């Protein structure tokens, strides 16, 4: 899990967060498993969640209208936990459809929590009160 935290710290979304803050986000995000061919749907409001691919690959596409013409953009994200390669799909994009192309482990990280943590330091009261009963070692010991 330490490698995942280091990898996330290098992404623009998480670069301003401390290691304990990123660990907190991971610890508070459920890990899902999708079989090949399964649709990946975010819980609740998909627009506010960041999709983190832990292992496997997904195919995504986005459709929109541009001067009355339907446009589409497709891409594939691959992740290999054994190679310490993780992929993230930012919540900044709307109306994204994703499908697992292989057995895929993934999680959604709440974008609102990311933004709230950016505005406080790990020693702030607000952060301490949100992370009750949590240590970095708890996150590092999470089983995959």
Q: What is the pLDDT of residues 98-118, one digit of tens each?
A: 899 999 999 988 888 888 888
pTM, two decimal places: 0.72
The CATH number given to 2-134 is 2.60.120.10
DSSP string, the chain: -HHHHHHHHTSTTTTTS-HHHHHHHHHTS-EEEE-TT-EE--SS-GGGEEEEEEEEEEEEEEEEEETTEEEEEEEEEEEBGGGTB-EEE-TTS-SEEEEESSSEEEEEEEHHHHHHHHTS-TTSHHHHHHTTT--HHHHHT---
The domain locations on the chain are: 2-134
Per-residue pLDDT tens over the stretch 65-90: 889 888 888 888 888 777 778 888 87
């Amino acid at each position: 899990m330490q490698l995942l935290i280091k990898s996330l710290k290098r992404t623009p979304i998480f670069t301003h967060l401390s290691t304990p803050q990123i660990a907190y986000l991971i610890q508070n995000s459920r890990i899902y498993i999708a079989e090949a061919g399964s649709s990946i749907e975010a819980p609740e409001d998909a627009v506010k969640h960041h999709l983190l691919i832990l292992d496997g690959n997904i195919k995504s596409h986005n459709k929109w209208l541009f001067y009355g013409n339907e446009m589409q953009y497709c891409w594939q994200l691959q992740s290999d936990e054994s190679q310490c390669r993780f992929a993230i799909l930012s919540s900044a994009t709307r109306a994204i459809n994703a499908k697992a192309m292989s057995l895929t482990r993934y999680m959604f990280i709440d974008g609102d929590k990311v933004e709230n943590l950016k505005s406080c330091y790990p020693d702030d009261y607000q952060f301490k009160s949100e992370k009750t009963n949590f240590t970095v070692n708890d996150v590092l010991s999470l089983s995959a």
